Amino acid sequence: AQSVTQLGSHVSVSEGALVLLRCNYSSSVPPYLFWYVQYPNQGLQLLLKYTSAATLVKGINGFEAEFKKSETSFHLTKPSAHMSDAAEYFCAVSDWKGGGNKLTFGTGTQLKVEL
Amino acid sequence: SQTIHQWPATLVQPVGSPLSLECTVEGTSNPNLYWYRQAAGRGLQLLFYSVGIGQISSEVPQNLSASRPQDRQFILSSKKLLLSDSGFYLCAWSLTGGANTGELFFGEGSRLTVL
């Protein structure tokens, strides 16, 4: 079965600094991978997705992620953090078995941006 | 464009009372539908998914049930709530067939507190 591990439940960066949120996956088939963002008391919004095309994926709000098969990783980065980036971020892998595309999520990383 | 609505947004219920959370998708036909529960520090857990009217798959045994009485309506229910049912419930939908690129689109969530 597919699984996702997010290293670091809390990450703190200064405004303007690099954001790096880590995600490693386990999958028996070529995976589809996703990053979502969640603001307090809201649903999840898709940031970006990898679906076996280009390994470097660009998303909304200046975020990007690189699929590295050899490292089974899909880390999320942003060159310069903004206060509005403070939120919880979830990495997910898609499982297509049994009908429907079920996503398995990591436990999330809370990003704090400090002045 | 497609939209998804969940209600109620917030619910406080006593132990042993019934529950009904409703989710409706607009702007698409025959979507896959999902119910996830989010507990603090535990990421998102898939509870149910549906690939068509009356077709419900349960991912984990629990005190909850789901129904899909219409193509774009998904209902989460319980006959008698437990304290452990407290959490943030998220409804989601995805495209089907060849148009499906893997991602889920989430509603705004329903926060349930069982006292």
- Are A102 and B34 within 8 A, CB to CB? yes
User: What tens-digit pLDDT sequence spans chain A (115 residues)?
Assistant: 789 999 999 999 999 999 999 999 998 777 889 999 999 889 999 999 998 778 999 999 999 999 999 999 999 999 999 999 999 999 999 876 555 678 999 999 999 999 9
Provide the shortest C-alpha distance from residue A71 to chain B (in Å): 22
**Total CB pairs under 8 A between chain A and B:** 66
pLDDT at B71 over 90: yes
pLDDT at position B101 is: 77
The DSSP bridge partners found for residue A110 are A10, A88
Give percent of chain B above pLDDT 90.
80
Alpha-carbon distances, residue B43 vs A66, A70, A90 (angstroms): 22, 26, 8
Token couple for A14? 């200064």
- Are A99 and B102 within 8 A, CB to CB? no
Grouping H, G, I as helix, E, B as strand and the rest as coil, residue A12 is strand
Token couple for B10? 């917030």
- The tens digit of pLDDT for each residue in B25-69 reads 999 999 999 999 998 767 899 999 999 999 999 888 788 999 999
Cα B95 to Cα B31: distance, rounded to the nearest angstrom? 5
Cα B22 to Cα B75: distance, rounded to the nearest angstrom? 5
Q: Which chain B residues contact residue A90 at CB under 8 A?
A: 43-44
pLDDT at B99 over 90: no
Secondary structure in 3-state letters for A66-115 = EEEHHHCEEEEEECCCCHHHCEEEEEEEEECCCCCCEEEECCCEEEEEEC
Q: Which of A6, A4, A48 is nearest to A27 (CA)?
A: A4
Cβ–Cβ contact B48 with A under 8 A: no
**Quick check: bond before B69 cis, omega within 30?**
no
Cα B86 to Cα B90: distance, rounded to the nearest angstrom? 13
Give every CB contact of residue B68 below 8 A, 6+ residues apart in sequence: B33, B50, B52, B53, B54, B55, B56, B74, B75
pLDDT at position A100 is: 63
pLDDT at position A60 is: 95
pLDDT at position A99 is: 55
Secondary structure in 3-state letters for B47-89 = EEEEEECCEEEECCCCCCEEEEEECCEEEEEECCCCHHHCEEE
